[in-house]
A = this chain, B = another copy of it.
Amino acid sequence: MSSLFANPTSDPAIPPLGQVMVLSADQPMRLDSGATLGPFTLAYQTYGTLNEAKSNAILVCHALTGDQYAAGPHPMTGRPGWWSTLIGPGKPVDTERYFVICPNVIGGCMGSSGPREINPATGQVWGLNFPVITIADMVRSQALLLDALGIDRLFAVLGGSMGGMQALEWATAYPERVFAAIPIATAARHSSQNIAFHEVGRQAIMADPDWAAGAYHAAGRNPSRGLAVARMAAHVTYLSETALHRKFGRNLQDRIAVTYGFDADFQVESYLRHQGSTFVDRFDANSYLYITRAMDYFDLAVEYGGQLANAFASSPVRFLLVSFTSDWLFPTPESRAIVKALTTGSASVSFVEIETDKGHDAFLLDEPELFRIVQGFLDGCAEQYGLAQRSSAQHAESKGPKPRRGIRADLKLIADMIRPGSRALDVGSGDGELLEHLVHDKGVDGRGLELDPDGVHLSLAHGMAVIQGDANTDLQAYADGAFDYVILSKTLQAMHDPRAVLEHLCRIGHHAIVSFENYGHWRTRLSLMLRGRSPIDRDRPNHWWESSNIHPCTIADFLDLTEALDIEIEETVVLGPAGRVAKSTRPTTSANLFGEQAVFLLRRRR
């Protein structure tokens, strides 16, 4: 057994921190390819302390060129760990609260079994004799590591890019061993374009004569030129055009004019060459082939009969997905596809798309919004999982959310229409006020959809499952009849297409609850009639030209729409002057004149 950067211990049962573990010693692990592997080695690092109940473990999975040094300094480069911004004492993944485990993947080149290591059966370097592995194989090996560490269930599994693929695989292969999963900037299957980019990198390596058909170790050679080109090609895909433009533009490198030659005239060329040349010092070319291949092969739906939603059916895992606006390698639609499948499978899912120009690399960079969202979600989950707060000293300065009091009167009217213990979706859930009331006081399985990132964050921090999204465009992701109730409160008039939205509400929910301010109120009518001016909102007085109520409607207008869509009105509550409440099945003409607000309980006629 050879390991370059970790010291094997004589007692693998209780290894010290920063150790390697020999696994599958008794019987080899079966791989997806049909081959077997074992005994094999996993190199890993841990940060923080495992509590007595062994309930505070977070598994961190690394990306293509990452390794186990997520938080600590890297033994080769001396630089901080690749996720040291996120993981550490007092950081979002707080190592004073959680026990963080980060293994190097099999197939890697930082001490775990891989093509660079010695094949124990032959005493030779594995090279291309190492079996081709998959994301599922990586996760299977990590499960064996957790067994060895005596950890039955992870509080959370967390990873970006290929790390996110592992997090998804963990949540589907071992749902009972994962309380929460945070796949970041990832996809449920590697796209055609991404396979193409990987193939370019592999061809660059294999075109290098020093690759020697994979046997370069034995030949005393190293395909460093090919690997450098592969890295350069890949590195462009990790950034965004905007980020490159901001960082380098067309600036020249240490010169005042172009040289009319093939030197690195431009800073971006010099930067890329540096990325290529430093990479070959720390990474193994064959590992690059194996790990890119594992990503290419990843297609979670295929493992579940071609339907991604099947992978998550009745999943008990709480998911937080995160994507970045400028990431074109794992663009937001990839995350949204997972969110859609999770939603269809009725899983608990939160999702945030973070606005940034940093491209795919944003998940590794100092991105405060990512930290805030991950911390909020972990706080909410920790409370539900019964994990202790941080030690009292830190507790004092904790910015954890305060418990709520009361609930707004009009939201209370809506809540009263909802059966305890049912499933509800609040479209435009704001800061989660109604949602929390439903969940805590009525035992409702409540979910939210909200556009504003601050609202999403506040909801996550209170343990609510909220998807960042736009009711104008994202309702189609929800399956028919996915909820007992779908709520739209004071938002219909601001929709681009109120008809389509109302159709979706009644499709997704067995019942829909819609509230709005009545544009037919006598004060509104008089404004236009006598003043000759478009009526503006009563609550938020502003000018006609800046109103967000682009489709204001009266109670009569709304009735027209329900008729056009063949929707049944089960109950109407009209709020009149001085908070007077009138309930009925069908509102009257006088309700349209004197009602300030209306709440409708609706049902599509079958």
Contact surface of A with B, Cβ cutoff 8 Å? 32-35, 128, 131-132, 189-193, 195-197, 199-200, 202-204, 206-209, 225-226, 228-229, 232-233, 236, 239, 241, 244-245, 247-250, 258, 260-262, 264-266, 268-269, 272-273, 276, 289, 293, 296-297, 299, 328, 331, 497-499, 519-520, 524-526, 528-529, 531-534, 543-547, 550-557, 560-561, 564, 589, 592-593
Contacts and interface: CB of A to CB of B under 8 A. Distances in A.
Contact of A531 (B232, B526, B547, B556): B556
A303 to B, nearest CB: 13
Among A225, A533, A555, chain B packs the most CB atoms within 10 A around the CB of: A533
A270 to B, nearest CB: 9
A564 B32 CA distance: 69
8 contacts: A192-B250, A193-B239, A193-B268, A202-B262, A207-B208, A229-B229, A543-B564, A544-B557
Contacts of A273: 199, 203
A520 B528 contact: yes
Nearest to A290: B262
A200 B554 contact: no
A521 to B, nearest CB: 9
A555 B533 CA distance: 8
B196 A272 contact: yes
Contacts of A268: 192-193, 195-196, 199
Nearest to A34: B260
A206 B531 CA distance: 76
A525 B534 CA distance: 10
The 6 closest A-B pairs by CB, nearest first: A550-B550, A33-B260, A207-B225, A132-B260, A192-B244, A520-B532
B229 A293 contact: no
Given A276-B203, A564-B543, A532 B593 contact: yes
Given A199-B232, A244-B193, A276-B203, A533 B556 contact: yes
Contacts of A545: 497-499, 551, 553, 557, 561
A519 B534 contact: yes
Given A261-B132, A498-B545, A546-B497, A532 B554 contact: yes
A605 B44 CA distance: 70
A546 B564 CA distance: 13
Given A192-B249, A272-B196, A228 B244 contact: no
Contacts of A206: 262
- Copies of this chain per assembly: 2
B529 A552 contact: no
Given A262-B206, A272-B199, A552 B534 contact: yes
A560 B532 CA distance: 12
A246 B204 CA distance: 26
A533 B550 contact: no
A542 to B, nearest CB: 11
A534 B529 CA distance: 12
Contacts of A258: 297
Contact of A534 (B131, B241, B557): B557
A477 to B, nearest CB: 19
A191 B533 contact: no
A266 B499 contact: no
A526 B525 CA distance: 9
Contacts of A33: 260
A293 B259 CA distance: 11
A360 B192 CA distance: 17
A269 B195 CA distance: 7
B528 A529 contact: yes
Given A209-B209, A244-B192, A260-B131, A528 B532 contact: no
Contacts of A203: 228-229, 232, 272-273, 276
Nearest to A555: B532
A266 B247 CA distance: 35
Which interface residue of A250, A550, A551 has the most chain B CB atoms within 10 A? A250
A260 B36 CA distance: 13
